[in-house]
Structure 1
Amino acid sequence: MTVIWHMTMSLDGFIADRDDNVDWMFLADGGPSSLGAEVIATTGAFLCGGKRVELVGENRPYGGAWTGPILIYTHKDPATNPIPEFTYVSGDIRDVVADGVKAADGKNLVVTGGAVPRLALNAGLVDEIVLHITPVLLGEGVRFYDSPGIDPTKLEVLTAESLSFRFRVVK
Structure 2
Amino acid sequence: MTATVTADLAITLDGYVAGPNVTLDNPGGDGGEPIFDWIHTLASWRERQGMTGGAENRDSELMREWFDATGAVVMGRMMYDTGEEFWGDNPPFRTPVFVLTHRPRPTLVKEGGTSFTFVTDGIHSALEQARAAAGDRNVDIGGGAHTVRQYLAAGLVDELQLHVVPTLLGDGLRLFEGLGTGRRDLEQVRVVETPLATHLKYRFAK
**TM-score band, normalised by the shorter chain?**
0.7 to 0.9
> Does structure 2 retain, via aligned residues, the 8 Å contact 1:28–1:135?
no
Pick from 132, 140, 144 the counterpart of residue 175 of structure 2. 144
Compare CA radii of gyration and give the structure with the larger one: 2
Question: C-alpha distance in 2, partners of 1:69/1:111?
Answer: 12
Greater relative CO, 1 or 2 (CA 8 Å, sep 6+): 1
Q: What is the DSSP-based 3-state SS (H/G/I as helix, E as strand, rest coil) of the residue aligned with 1:97?
A: helix
Unaligned runs of 5+ in 1: none
**% identical aligned pairs:** 28
Q: Which runs of 4+ in 1 moved over 3 A?
A: 26-30, 63-66, 82-85
Using the size of structure 1 for normalisation, the TM-score is 0.85
Count residues with an aligned counterpart.
167
> Does structure 2 retain, via aligned residues, the 8 Å contact 1:35–1:161?
no
Pick from 46, 70, 81 the counterpart of residue 43 of structure 1. 70
CA RMSD in angstroms, aligned pairs only: 2.3
Q: Which residue of 1 aligns with 2:19?
A: 17
One-letter code of the match for 1:99? Q
Using the size of structure 2 for normalisation, the TM-score is 0.72
> Does structure 1 retain, via aligned residues, the 8 Å contact 2:100–2:122?
no
Unaligned runs of 5+ in 2: 45-58, 110-114
Question: C-alpha distance in 2, partners of 1:7/1:107?
Answer: 18
> Does structure 2 retain, via aligned residues, the 8 Å contact 1:42–1:108?
yes
One-letter code of the match for 2:191? A
One-letter code of the match for 1:46? V
Pick from 120, 125, 139 the counterpart of residue 151 of structure 2. 120
Question: C-alpha distance in 2, partners of 1:111/1:26?
Answer: 17
Could you report, residue by residue, the CA deviation over 1:9-62 in whole angstroms, capped at 9, with x for unpaired residues? 1121111110223243333344262333212111001111001112122445xx
Q: What is the DSSP-based 3-state SS (H/G/I as helix, E as strand, rest coil) of the residue aligned with 1:91?
A: coil
